[in-house]
């Protein structure tokens, strides 16, 4: 399929360099809180940032509290676990039964969800579905048998606490030795930080959904197109978008205008650094713990060999760049020479980045690339594949005020790296590259198929499934032990990382071949993705878009396995 020619957009002017780059020192500076009086400053401890402590064994104690952090020059409160951002790394062993006591020292309820972990539903940590939540002052004891291995993470499932810093890494060592060999390993956990109250952010988006988008088509862009392509060309390019009231630069709801992007809790200026000896094989456990940000990650000068996706080992594939969907994890092996390298992660909308360094000695750093120019959405992101055979079967609730657009002919191209990464000269990982070692856990053919549409209305800033927000929905029922196919069709122009709790999502290719076992599956705009699920875990589970505000505004379902 040919693509419509694309207009180029200049990088938006960012408000303050320090803002986006962050403070080098981050949260570690004590007494940098002019608005806090001395007493308060003593009472509220500062947050420890950077590589967090590693807790090992079978008993873990976690305390949730507010601590002070300063990423931009103004101190703010973060919601942290054991006082660090990220929270402590929990290192477990496959086969062990772990006990995790979580104590709430906040003024509001909290919870922890163990993302991607297969466990009894009462231990899954979603308030209102798995349990009641953890009230202030209360300690909740999680206990489950660890039945898997790999890289995972954990985070709050209450309110906006994930946005304010409440997440950490889980590493589970295989019971019988790791088939992935490396001399050294680092966790590289990405996140996004805003000084704003996340509820305020949501209110702003409700008022003006493009509030944080400073990359919109302007009159100047129009005249540039006129001079390049003629008046009719410039008009034709805008025809569909403007007629349909769709914005081709709608790449992220929240941008670097408010976000400071973090790597292991450290700002770009802070430059998180991992040391190595020349010749070593390094394993990097890449985790996207952003609330609303897709990160495009690369290490200029190094091929990354992807060996694991969402905690599951995959056939090794060497790439230059990986788009890390929110909540996804990828383990990669790199073999650096005796020099410094930049780990560069730019946000999908190119309004900011975070970088860190891999170096043989402290103090070394490599060149930091400039973010790419933001690429507007293509016609295929809006229309799908009109020459393809896939057809969407819309729900009757997709014809009302909750849905601004439907895609009738979705594209099924899992080999598409997505907007901004197409034809960029780098080898970018796609879902078509993923092949989980050992194949599917369940060889049965699906007994039935359910189709769900990812829907929204950007103008009203509402997000839903089949045009129905959670509050108006009914639970989705899976019969115990059934094998079924789930088809997602994305009717919107944003990529949605869909996370099914408690059950694996076994991604398949457009022609029905098994690709990868995942806990979170990103569905690109106007794309159709299918995967198989074995409903082998009884109970009540959450299923939602992992973009925090999409989840909270209603792109969420409860699944009941019975």
Partner 1 sequence: MTQRERTTENHATPSKRMNRIAAVVLFLGLAPAYAQEATTPDADNSDVQGSTSAAGGGMPGAAQMDYGKMVQGQMDHGSMQGGSPPPDARDPHAYSGGLVFGPDRQLKMADEHSFHSILIDRLEVVRTSDHTSGAYDLKARYGRDYDRAVLKAEGEVADGRTEEARTELFWSHAVAAYWDAQLGVRHDSGAGRPGRGWLAFGVEGLAPYWFELDATAYVGESGRSALRFAVEYELLLTQKLVLQPRIEANFYGQRDAELALGAGLSSAVAGLRLRYEIRREFAPYVGIEWAGKYGATADYARAAGAETKETRFVAGLRFWF
Q: Is 16 in the site for partner 1 (CB under 8 A)?
A: no
Q: Which stretch binds partner 1 (CB under 8 A): 175-183, 283-291, 351-359, 382-390?
A: 382-390
Q: Coil, helix or strand for 68?
A: strand
Q: Is 433 in the site for partner 1 (CB under 8 A)?
A: no
Q: Is 457 in the site for partner 1 (CB under 8 A)?
A: yes
Q: Is 551 in the site for partner 1 (CB under 8 A)?
A: yes
CB of 362 to partner 1, least distance (A): 40
Q: Is 197 in the site for partner 1 (CB under 8 A)?
A: no
DSSP 147: -
Q: Is 105 in the site for partner 1 (CB under 8 A)?
A: no
Q: Which stretch binds partner 1 (CB under 8 A): 60-68, 232-240, 505-513, 531-539?
A: 232-240
CB of 236 to partner 1, least distance (A): 4
Exactly one of 28, 182, 395, 432 binds partner 1 (CB under 8 A); which one?
395
Q: What are 177-182's contacts with CB under 8 Å, separation 24+?
A: 178/149, 179/313, 180/283, 180/307, 180/308, 180/313, 180/331, 180/333, 181/281, 182/281, 182/282, 182/283, 182/333
Edge-to-edge strands of the sheet including 341-347? Answer: 272-275, 353-359, 341-347, 295-298, 321-324
Are 314 and 516 spatial neighbours (Cβ–Cβ below 8 Å)? yes
Q: Coil, helix or strand for 59?
A: strand
Are 88 and 82 spatial neighbours (Cβ–Cβ below 8 Å)? yes
Exactly one of 5, 56, 139, 481 binds partner 1 (CB under 8 A); which one?
5
Q: Is 422 in the site for partner 1 (CB under 8 A)?
A: no
Q: Which stretch binds partner 1 (CB under 8 A): 85-93, 113-121, 238-246, 322-330?
A: 238-246
In this structure, the strands spanning 89-93 and 54-56 are: parallel
**Position of tokens 């931009």?**
72
Are 143 and 113 spatial neighbours (Cβ–Cβ below 8 Å)? no
Q: State the CB neighbour count (10 A cutoff) for residue 363.
A: 8
For partner 1, the closer of residues 401 and 512 by Cβ is 401
For partner 1, the closer of residues 56 and 481 by Cβ is 481
Edge-to-edge strands of the sheet including 539-545? Answer: 476-478, 556-561, 539-545, 496-500, 520-523
Exactly one of 398, 416, 506, 508 binds partner 1 (CB under 8 A); which one?
398
For partner 1, the closer of residues 38 and 220 by Cβ is 220
Q: State the CB neighbour count (10 A cutoff) for residue 365.
A: 15
Q: Which stretch binds partner 1 (CB under 8 A): 205-213, 262-270, 357-365, 429-437?
A: 205-213
Exactly one of 42, 97, 399, 447 binds partner 1 (CB under 8 A); which one?
399
Token pair of 442 as six digits: 């369940």
* End-to-end Cα distance, the chain: 44
Are 410 and 527 spatial neighbours (Cβ–Cβ below 8 Å)? yes
Are 193 and 181 spatial neighbours (Cβ–Cβ below 8 Å)? no
Tell me how many residues contact partner 1 (CB under 8 A): 90
Q: State the CB neighbour count (10 A cutoff) for residue 88.
A: 19
Site residues for partner 1, 478-507, by CB under 8 A, read 479
Exactly one of 34, 471, 511, 513 binds partner 1 (CB under 8 A); which one?
471
Q: Is 243 in the site for partner 1 (CB under 8 A)?
A: yes
CB of 198 to partner 1, least distance (A): 11
Q: Is 389 in the site for partner 1 (CB under 8 A)?
A: no
Q: State the CB neighbour count (10 A cutoff) for residue 123.
A: 22
Q: State the CB neighbour count (10 A cutoff) for residue 388.
A: 15
Q: Is 182 in the site for partner 1 (CB under 8 A)?
A: no
Q: Is 447 in the site for partner 1 (CB under 8 A)?
A: no
CB of 374 to partner 1, least distance (A): 12
Exactly one of 25, 476, 487, 538 binds partner 1 (CB under 8 A); which one?
476
Q: Is 409 in the site for partner 1 (CB under 8 A)?
A: yes
For partner 1, the closer of residues 128 and 369 by Cβ is 128
Are 495 and 325 spatial neighbours (Cβ–Cβ below 8 Å)? yes
Q: Is 554 in the site for partner 1 (CB under 8 A)?
A: yes
Q: Is 394 in the site for partner 1 (CB under 8 A)?
A: yes
- Binding-site string for partner 1 from residue 262 to residue 291, where x marks contact by CB under 8 A and - marks none: ------------------------------
Convert 475-499 to b/e letters by CB count within 10 Å (16 or more is b).
Answer: ebebeeebbbbbbbbbbbbbbbbbb
Q: Which stretch binds partner 1 (CB under 8 A): 85-93, 218-226, 304-312, 317-325?
A: 218-226
Q: Is 215 in the site for partner 1 (CB under 8 A)?
A: yes
Q: Who contacts 243 (Cβ-Cβ below 8 Å, separation ≥6)?
A: none
CB of 208 to partner 1, least distance (A): 6
Q: Which stretch binds partner 1 (CB under 8 A): 72-80, 90-98, 126-134, 513-521?
A: 126-134
Q: Is 138 in the site for partner 1 (CB under 8 A)?
A: no
Run of H or E including 220: helix 219-244
């Amino acid at each position: 399929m040919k693509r419509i020619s694309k207009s180029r957009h200049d990088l938006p002017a960012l408000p303050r360099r320090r803002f986006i780059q962050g403070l080098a020192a981050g949260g570690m500076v004590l007494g940098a809180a002019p608005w806090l009086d001395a007493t308060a400053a003593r009472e509220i401890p500062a947050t420890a940032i950077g590589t967090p402590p590693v807790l090992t064994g079978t008993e873990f104690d976690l305390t949730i509290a507010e601590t002070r952090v300063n990423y931009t020059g103004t101190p703010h409160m973060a919601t942290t676990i054991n006082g660090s951002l990220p929270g402590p790394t929990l290192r477990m062993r496959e086969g062990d039964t772990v006990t995790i006591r979580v104590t709430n020292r906040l003024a509001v309820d909290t919870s922890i969800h163990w993302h991607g972990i297969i466990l009894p539903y009462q231990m899954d940590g979603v308030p209102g579905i798995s349990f009641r939540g953890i009230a202030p002052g209360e300690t909740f004891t999680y206990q489950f048998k660890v039945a898997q291995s790999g890289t995972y993470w954990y985070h709050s499932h209450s309110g906006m606490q994930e946005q304010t810093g409440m997440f950490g890494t889980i590493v589970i060592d295989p019971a019988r030795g790791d088939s992935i060999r490396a001399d050294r390993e680092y966790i590289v956990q990405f996140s996004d930080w805003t000084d704003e109250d996340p509820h305020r952010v949501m209110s702003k988006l409700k008022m003006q959904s493009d509030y944080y988008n400073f990359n919109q088509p302007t009159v100047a862009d129009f005249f540039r197109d006129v001079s390049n392509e003629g008046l009719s060309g410039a008009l034709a390019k805008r025809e569909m978008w403007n007629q349909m009231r769709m914005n081709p630069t709608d790449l992220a709801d929240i941008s670097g205008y408010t976000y400071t992007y973090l790597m292991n809790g450290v700002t770009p200026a802070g430059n998180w650094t991992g040391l190595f000896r020349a010749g070593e094989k390094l394993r990097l456990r890449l985790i996207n713990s952003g609330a609303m940000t897709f990160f495009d990650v690369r290490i200029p000068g190094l091929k990354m060999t992807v060996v694991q996706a969402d905690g599951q080992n995959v056939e090794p594939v060497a790439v230059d760049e990986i788009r890390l969907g929110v909540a996804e994890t990828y383990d990669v092996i790199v073999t650096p020479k005796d020099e410094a390298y930049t780990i560069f992660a730019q946000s999908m909308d190119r309004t900011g980045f975070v970088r860190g360094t891999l170096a043989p000695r402290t103090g070394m750093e490599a060149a930091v690339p400039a973010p790419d120019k933001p690429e507007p959405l293509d016609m295929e992101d809006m229309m799908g594949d009109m020459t393809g055979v896939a057809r969407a079967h819309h729900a009757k609730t997709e014809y009302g005020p909750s849905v601004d657009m439907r895609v009738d002919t979705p594209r099924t191209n899992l080999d598409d790296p997505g907007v901004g990464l197409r034809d960029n000269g780098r080898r970018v990982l796609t879902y078509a590259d993923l092949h989980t070692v050992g194949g599917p856990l369940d060889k049965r053919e699906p007994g039935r198929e359910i189709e769900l549409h990812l829907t929204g209305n950007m103008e009203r800033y509402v997000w839903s499934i089949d045009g129905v927000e959670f509050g108006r929905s009914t639970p989705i029922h899976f019969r115990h032990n059934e094998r079924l196919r789930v088809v997602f069709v994305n009717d919107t122009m944003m990529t949605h990382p869909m996370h099914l709790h408690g059950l694996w999502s076994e991604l398949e290719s457009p022609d029905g071949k098994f690709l990868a076992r995942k806990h979170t599956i990103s569905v690109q705009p106007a794309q159709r993705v299918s995967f198989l699920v074995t409903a082998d875990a009884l109970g009540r589970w959450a299923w939602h878009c992992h973009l925090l505000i999409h989840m909270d505004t209603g792109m969420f379902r409860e699944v009941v396995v019975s």
